[in-house]
Amino acid sequence: DVQMTQSPSLLSASVGDRVTINCKASQNINKYLNWCQQKLGEAPKLLIYNTNNLQTGIPSRFCGSGSGTDFTLTISSLQPEDFGTYFCFQHNSWPLTFGSGTKLEIK
């Protein structure tokens, strides 16, 4: 299985900050890397699919980049509603595999 290494596991930031979260795949996954946001008790929400495509309804402050094995999620100006947990997952190889998550907290 493709191993997904996500960093950092915990991130403290302030409203208005620019933040980045990284995911590294153990092998080439081409462009098939997605990012989701998860809040306690809610359905995970897809933010970015296939590296850099913004899911419908997601604000443009969310941006994805990368290729091959290294990928980044950037939030350009953090808003209060952005706090929660973020995870990446790859859907290039069977089975889908997930990063361990990044908890984004208010500083």
Partner 1 sequence: QVQLQQSGAELAKPGSSVKISCKASGYTFTAYDISWITQTTGQGLDYIGYINTGSGGTYYNEKFKGKATLTVDKSSSTAFMQLSSLTPEDTAVYYCARRVNGGDYWGQGVMVTVSS
Chain residues binding partner 1 by CB under 8 A are: 32, 34, 36, 41-46, 49-50, 53, 55, 87, 89-91, 94-98, 100-101
Which residue number, 5 or 12, has a Cβ lying nearer to partner 1?
A: 5
> Shortest approach of partner 1 to residue 76 CB, angstroms?
22
As a whole number of angstroms, the distance between CA 86 and CA 83 comes to: 9
Which residue number, 68 or 91, has a Cβ lying nearer to partner 1?
A: 91
Which residue number, 49 or 62, has a Cβ lying nearer to partner 1?
A: 49
> Shortest approach of partner 1 to residue 15 CB, angstroms?
26
In the numeric block, which tokens belong to residue 54? Answer: 């913004």
Helix, coil or strand: residue 81: helix
The residue among 24, 32, 12, 22 whose CA lies nearest residue 82 is 12
Beta carbons of 70 and 24 less than 8 angstroms apart: yes
Beta carbons of 21 and 73 less than 8 angstroms apart: yes
> Shortest approach of partner 1 to residue 71 CB, angstroms?
13
